[in-house]
Structures are given as C-alpha cells and as structure tokens.
Amino acid sequence: MSSHRFVATPSDGIVWITGASSGIGAAVASRLAAAGFTVVVTARREEKLQSLAEQSSGPGRIVPCAGDVTDGEQMEALVDRIEREVGPIALAVLNAGVYLPVVDGGIDRGIFDKTFAVNVTGTMNALAPVSKRMQARGHGQIAIVASVAGYFGLPTAAAYGASKAALINLAEALKFDFDNQGLTIQIVAPGFVDTPATADNPFPMPFLMKVDQAADRIVAGLKTGRFEITFPRRFTYGLKIIRILPYGLFFPLIARFTGWSRHNRTDQST
C-alpha cells in the first residue's frame, strides 16, 4: 500500500462540498474559498447556496450548483457538469446528512428510509462519480462526514447512528484500494456540534462545539491527509475506549453518561 497521502491544493483542482447550504458544510466552504480554492457547493436550496457565494471573500470563490444527493443519475450528471464547466475535482467533502430521532424505541420505517437515503445512499451517489474521475487521474482526496454516533448505539440515534456507522465502515474498507490508486480517503467524526440537528437532543452534550470551531478543525484535518478527523479528542478518544468495553459495562455507562436512565424515570412519573 502507498504511504503517500495526496492532499489537495488550489493548483490541483477544485473542491466539491455536498450539504453545503448551512452549518458545517457552509462554514468549511467559506474557509476553503478564503484559502484560495474554487469551491462548488451543492444542496437542494439554491437560494442558500447563492447567498453563501455572495458572502464569500477571496482569493478563491464559491460556485453554487444545486442538486439532490438522493438522485443518483442527477449526481452523475452534476459531477460531469462541474468537471466540464468549473474544473477537475481534487477534493470532495461529502457532508450531506440528516438527523431524525427515534423516540421511545418507535420503529418508524419512514425515518429509517429517509435517513439512509440521504446519509448512506446520498453519500454513495456522490462518491461513485467523483471517485471514478479521481481514479482515472491517479490522485484525489475525499472526506466523508460521519459522526461519533457511528461508534456505537446512542439513545434516539437508532437510524442516524446506524447510517454513520455504515459510512465509517465504508471508508475503512475503501482505504485499502484507494491507497494503491493515489486517492486519500478520510472520515470526519465530530463530537457534538451546535446545529439545528442537535438542538433538541434530550440529554447532556459535553464539549459542545460551535459550527465555526468544528469547521476550523475539519479544514486543519484535511491538510494532514490523516484517515480520521475527530474532535474534540479529549471527548472522542474517551468514546473510543468506551466502545471496547464489554456490554455489561457499556450499557450502564452510556445510560449514566447521557442521563437516559434519569430521563426515562422522569417520563414515567409524569
């Protein structure tokens, strides 16, 4: 396997970011444009993308290109259009995702269908065409945004966590071949970030980070080419230790950590 890590620079090509209309995606796009990249941003809300582009300050630029990651044919055509009209994609940040809580153990098929359609299939719909073009060129960098919720099961995250676990496994598996093809693949596993997706979490969120802080960490991690970008480490590395505990210790610890036992008792008493 190659030990060389390809790390994209503005001279190598452009950046493509999905899920870029707000939150982490928008903040990362702004930072990469400020670093000199041409950044193509994709999401369904074209007006949000246009506003992001107008607010961007050089020396790079942001180019809006609306699209729905759940439509595979549309993503194939979109990548072709980006490469023809804007330039070769040297770095892809696949960030599109949704968080739909699973409450009280209720298995709502619609929640799982939508979560996996966006988080897993949507990522694959973007990954397939962009990786194919990078493989033909013999270099490229791809970052897939997952979550520490993919490390293990957490309350309310039965759908979200399972989808993010799939992305982590996907990136791990692809790394073996991508290393030999000159492609750098990375997984981004943030802790809790203050976004609308986390606003209604009914449990404590230690080390909650602002979106701008998270974007700074991601951009710094992209520059290293390391496989995993995870932060804040004092929190996420602790979770890695918890992950290897036997279940007899794991479940009580997570229940206490999230306040879930107390949450359930409170619910039952009202």
10 vs 1, more confident: 10
Q: Give strand ranges (E) for 43-139.
A: 61-64, 89-94
Between 260 and 72, residue with greater pLDDT: 72
The answer to the question of residue 258 being in a domain is: no
Residue 151 is part of a domain; what is its CATH number? Answer: 3.40.50.720
**123 inside domain:** yes
Instruction: State how far the Cα of 148 lies from the Cα of 164, in Å rounded to an integer.
Output: 8
Known active-site residue 160: yes
Structure tokens belonging to residue 163: 């989808």
Q: Do 115 and 98 touch, CB atoms closer than 8 A?
A: yes
Q: Report if residue 151 sits inside a domain.
A: yes
More confident residue, 58 or 229: 229
pLDDT digits (tens, 9 = 90+) for 108-154: 999 999 999 999 999 999 999 999 999 999 999 999 999 999 999 98
Phi and psi at 25, nearest 5°, equal -60, -45
Question: Cα(89)–Cα(70) distance, rounded to whole angstroms?
Answer: 20
Residue 243 to residues 102, 231, 246, 249, 253: CA-CA distances in angstroms? 21, 16, 8, 10, 11
* Structural domain for 195, as ranges: 14-245
Residue 42 lies in a domain: yes
Q: Is residue 125 part of a domain?
A: yes
In a domain, 122, yes or no: yes
pTM equals 0.91
Which is catalytic among the residues 99, 151, 160, 237? 160
| Residue 222 pLDDT level (bands cut at 50, 70, 90) | very high
Q: What is the pLDDT of residues 90-103, one digit of tens each?
A: 999 999 999 999 98
Establish if 257 belongs to a structural domain.
no
Sign for the CA dihedral angle at 82, 83, 88, 91 comes to positive
CB 78 within 8 A of CB 40: no
Whether the CB-CB separation of 215 and 19 falls below 8 Å is answered with no
Contact, 142 vs 92, CB < 8 A?
Answer: yes
| Residue 9 within a domain | no
Using pLDDT thresholds of 50, 70 and 90, give the confidence band for residue 269. very low
Q: Could you read off the pLDDT of 157-196 as tens digits, one per residue?
A: 999 999 999 999 999 999 999 999 999 999 999 987 766 6
**Using one digit for the tens of pLDDT, what is the confidence trace for 8-27?**
999 999 999 999 999 999 99
Q: Which stretch of DSSP H or E encloses residue 247? A: helix 247-258
C-alpha distances (whole Å) from 117 to each of 12, 99, 140, 163 are 31, 12, 25, 9
3-state class (DSSP) for residue 152: coil
CB 10 within 8 Å of CB 60: yes
Q: How many folded domains does the chain comprise? A: 1
Query: What's the rounded Cα separation, in Å, for the pair 66 and 41?
Result: 7
DSSP E strands, 19-122: 38-42, 61-64, 89-94
